[in-house]
């Protein structure tokens, strides 16, 4: 029920903010239509992860629960981040809250934290800490045993994934530089891969028997693979795409390479040293 209420509130707030932006600036301006579609798809994935067959599968053991986590971290989070929801949700907020948010945004400490590179590193560290903490045996067992803790766990995954992917696929003016983004993705992938490897290659179950499936060790190994392979693949593909786009942009901006300045249109290239010597002779 909480997931349904959360999705409805986010959809209503985002829709109101986008409508206000499009009324002022024109349909498709500021927030393009594809970003609106991405945000809507993210909400649907969130709803699907918390309800229906996915939720039932998560109740059967660790592997199903891990699949639910990967949907939040690798699908819902990036889609919501691609929606660039900061401005629409701010516009949908009541006026006193909107003014408070505006004052917070211009405060010097917040401005430093909002620098794309600083924000990206903090978001990556936050996701890594949340991922490891909630997959430790104690916190994970508490989440399985207590619905309130379980809800908190999923909110942590969704919030950190949303914040983590914002400087990667969010609004262009808030994106981190390409080298920082590549390092962020690689640095986040390695701890997640290490956690997946621990679960996959552990000689015996590390979680209490009551939270595992019928075959505890096989359930844990499958859960480790579900964390390891999809996360590494998704992050690697995005990192390569960012890196290639960066190289193409550099090639477009410096068509003559990095060895010299680009020749202005219509200018005559300078003669080489050998040609200059022949001209002097």
pLDDT in tens, the chain (281 residues): 677 888 888 899 999 889 888 988 888 888 889 999 999 999 999 988 888 788 888 888 889 899 999 999 999 999 999 998 888 888 888 888 888 887 887 788 777 777 777 888 888 889 999 999 999 999 999 999 898 899 899 999 999 999 889 888 888 777 778 888 888 888 888 888 999 999 999 899 999 888 888 888 999 999 999 888 888 888 889 888 888 888 888 777 765 544 445 545 555 444 444 443 443 34
Tell me how many domains the chain contains.
1
Q: What is the DSSP letter of 28?
A: T
- Which residues have a Cβ under 8 Å from the Cβ of 168 and sit 6 or more positions away? 78, 81, 120, 175, 176, 181, 184, 185, 238, 242
* 275 to 264, 279, 280: CA distances (angstroms): 21, 6, 9
Residue 269 lies in a domain: no
Distance (Å, whole) CA 165 – CA 181:
10
| Residue 272: predicted pLDDT | 43
Query: Has residue 75 been placed in a domain?
Result: yes
- Report if residue 271 sits inside a domain: no
Residue 267 lies in a domain: no
Domain, as residue range, for 24: 2-257
- Note whether residue 97 is domain-resident: yes
Structure tokens that stand for 84 in this block: 């660039």
Structure confidence at residue 276 (pLDDT): 39
Q: In this predicted structure, what is the pLDDT of residue 266?
A: 52
pLDDT at 79: 94
């Amino acid at each position: 029920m909480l997931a349904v209420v959360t999705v409805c509130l986010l959809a209503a707030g985002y829709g109101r903010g986008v409508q206000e932006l499009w009324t002022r600036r024109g349909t498709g301006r500021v927030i393009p239509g594809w970003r609106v579609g991405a945000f809507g798809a993210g909400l649907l994935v969130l709803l699907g992860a918390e309800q229906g067959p996915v939720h039932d599968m998560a109740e059967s053991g660790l592997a199903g629960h891990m699949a639910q986590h990967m949907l939040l971290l690798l699908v819902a989070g990036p889609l919501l981040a691609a929606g660039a929801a900061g401005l629409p949700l701010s516009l949908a907020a009541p006026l006193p809250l909107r003014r408070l948010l505006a004052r917070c945004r211009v405060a010097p400490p917040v401005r430093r934290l909002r620098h794309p590179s600083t924000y990206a590193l903090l978001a990556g560290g936050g996701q890594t800490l949340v991922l490891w903490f909630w997959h430790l045996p104690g916190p994970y067992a508490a989440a399985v045993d207590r619905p309130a803790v379980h809800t908190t766990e999923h909110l942590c995954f969704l919030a950190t994934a949303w914040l983590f992917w914002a400087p990667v696929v969010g609004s262009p003016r808030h994106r981190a530089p390409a080298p920082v983004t590549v390092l962020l993705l690689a640095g986040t992938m390695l701890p997640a891969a290490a956690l997946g490897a621990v679960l996959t290659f552990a000689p015996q179950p590390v979680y209490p028997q009551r939270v595992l499936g019928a075959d505890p060790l096989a359930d844990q190994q499958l859960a480790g693979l579900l964390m390891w392979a999809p996360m590494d693949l998704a992050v690697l593909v995005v990192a390569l795409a960012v890196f290639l786009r960066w190289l193409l942009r550099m090639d477009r901006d410096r068509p003559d390479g990095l060895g010299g300045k680009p020749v202005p249109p219509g200018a005559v290239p300078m003669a080489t040293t050998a040609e200059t010597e022949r001209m002097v002779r």
